[in-house]
Amino acid sequence: MKRIESNVKQIPYSQESVYAKVSDLSNLRELLERIPEDQKHNIKLENLECTTDRVSTTVSPIGKVEFVIISREPFKCVKMETTQSPVKLILWIQIVSTGDSNCKIKLTADADLNIFMAKMVEKPLTEALDKLADTLAMIPY
C-alpha cells in the first residue's frame, strides 16, 4: 500500500459541524457545486449517485468508482474504501478541533499500487487530495 496525504487545512467551523457534513456522503453534491468554474474542466464525473454511506460515479478516463463508508469515529474521522475501482483505495478524513469554532482536516489515502504504478500516480493523487482538502476548507458548515 502506498500512503498519500494532503496538506493540513484550517477550517473556521467547529469539529462537530464539519464532521456532520463529511460523514454524510449525500452532501458530496454540494461540495462538487463549489468547485471553481476554471477547475471543473479537470473533473469529469458522470452518473453521480450519492447516499449517506455510498457514492458512485464514472470518472473519465478511469471508469466506474464507488466508495462506501466503512467506519465513523464521531467528530474525529470518516473512513471509506472503494468497492468498485481500478485500484483498491482506502480514504479517511481526519478532523481535529483547534477551538470552539475552528478545526483542522487532513485527508489520507492508502492505495494498493505496485512500485511502478505508485510512481506514476503519486503526484496526481496527492494533487487530488490537496484540491479536495482545499474545497472542504472553503465550504460553509
Tens digit of each residue's pLDDT (9 = 90 or more) over 109-126: 998 888 888 788 788 888
Mean pLDDT calculated for residue range 34-42: 60
Q: What is the CATH number of domain 2-138?
A: 3.30.530.20
Euclidean distance between CA atoms 4 and 91, whole angstroms: 9
Please return the burial class of 76, using the count of CB atoms within 10 Å of its CB with bins 0-12, 13-18 and 19+: middle
If pLDDT is split at 50, 70 and 90, which confidence band does 74 have? Answer: very high
pLDDT at 39: 58
The answer, yes or no, to whether residue 42 has pLDDT greater than 60, is no
| Proportion of the chain above pLDDT 70, given as a percent | 88
49 vs 9: which has the higher pLDDT: 9
Q: Record the pTM.
A: 0.83
Cα separation, 87 vs 110, in Å, equals 10
The reported pLDDT for the residue numbered 43 is 57
Mean pLDDT of the chain: 86
